Amino acid sequence: MPASSLDTFFACSLMVILIVSAMVGTAKVVQPYLNDLANVNGIERYRGLAEYLLLSAGSPSDWGVMVNDVPAVFGLASETRQSYELDLDKVCRLNSDNIYSINYQDILTALVEDVSLNIKIHPLFEISINLASSQSGENETTYIFQISTSKSGFPIPTWLRCYTVVETYISNVSSSTDSNGAGTVNVVLPNSFNGTALFVVFAKAKAYSQMIGFNVYSFGHNSEALEANKTFLQLSPLNHVLNVSFQYATVELSNAYVFTYNYYFSLSQTHMENQTVEYHIPHLLEASPMMLMLNGNNASSTSFAEWTAYPQLPLEIGANFNDLTAKSKAVALTYVVSVNSVLYEAVITCRSVRNYNA
């Protein structure tokens, strides 16, 4: 067997072992820590808190879809009761980009007063996208993208599914990254379309099909420079409804799509008011994140294409532990969690605010 194949085999095997170990680490039902947290010291104190947050559904157990309420007891678990399966909408309500989000103070109120914490949830590996070159012809333009997939600097071989969207045109390309986590994708777009285009990438680890990452690259096709994502729209998915809030009164929407690893659909508009539109997000059995994309124009001149993920990841909420003093007194705990059968990494960092030596 070639050396590169051996390297890939051992890297994939190690990744599977790490995931399975993390997923089966706690199968027991965690009792509410509120009764005995004061009697537990050091790392185990924070481990009990972190596991409670990930294994408890909170109260009410369906607070994720109750848009006008905050939880009385904070917990992120899905009501499926599977260990480390987080609720899709509870996760979305942790993202400050969502109009239905709860804030850090809401979390603290539902916990204890002497603990500060930070919650991060993101895909298990990173996808880097680079537009290497483009070649314009009479009728079409070819774009060459370089894609790399890695975890903490280590390459992850993946299967790729890539969509390119400009106006009503959608291109669908399958590819892969090799044992070095590197791949190249060529995309051809007709010159009869123009405006802001999105290159949407899903990457599925060859070692473990529930490891799926995603990323989006925005570029101009026969058009000028682009505005950043979230310039014209605020996109808030919750309870399989996408709420779209216009940042300007001059915004005009053209198309709305949902993309997964295997499929894509147009979204159906269900409600419209002066500055908001709602779309129905389909319930799919596929184990994949959803990428929600809308395009249109502002003042009939500036084209845009904006997007968000469902679940709305990556996210971070909570205290800032970046300064050295705070970091030295904090404990960070990492878990592999699942949302809609896709694996993500959750990092919960805790610190006592009464006893910094705890």
pLDDT band at 113 (very low <50, low <70, confident <90, very high): low
Q: What is the pTM of this model?
A: 0.88
Mean pLDDT of 194-204: 97
Ranges of each domain in the chain: 3-123+315-352, 124-226
Q: How far apart are CA 73 and CA 7, in angstroms?
A: 46
Q: What are the structure tokens assigned to 178, written together?
A: 């090799």
Give residue 321's pLDDT. 86
Q: How far apart are CA 89 and CA 27, in angstroms?
A: 23
pLDDT in tens, 88-108: 999 999 999 999 999 999 999
Residues 6+ apart with CB under 8 A from 168: 193, 254, 255
Give residue 226's pLDDT. 84
Mean pLDDT of 63-87: 93
Find out whether 63 and 70 touch, Cβ atoms under 8 Å. Answer: yes
Amino acid at position 156, single letter: I
Give residue 324's pLDDT. 54
Mean pLDDT of 171-176: 98
Least trusted range by pLDDT, from 55-59, 113-117, 238-242:
113-117
Q: Which fold has domain 124-226?
A: Immunoglobulin-like (2.60.40)
What's phi and psi for 97, nearest 5 deg?
Answer: -75, -15
Give residue 34's pLDDT. 40
Mean pLDDT of 119-131: 98
Is the pLDDT assigned to residue 248 strictly greater than 90? yes
Give residue 221's pLDDT. 96
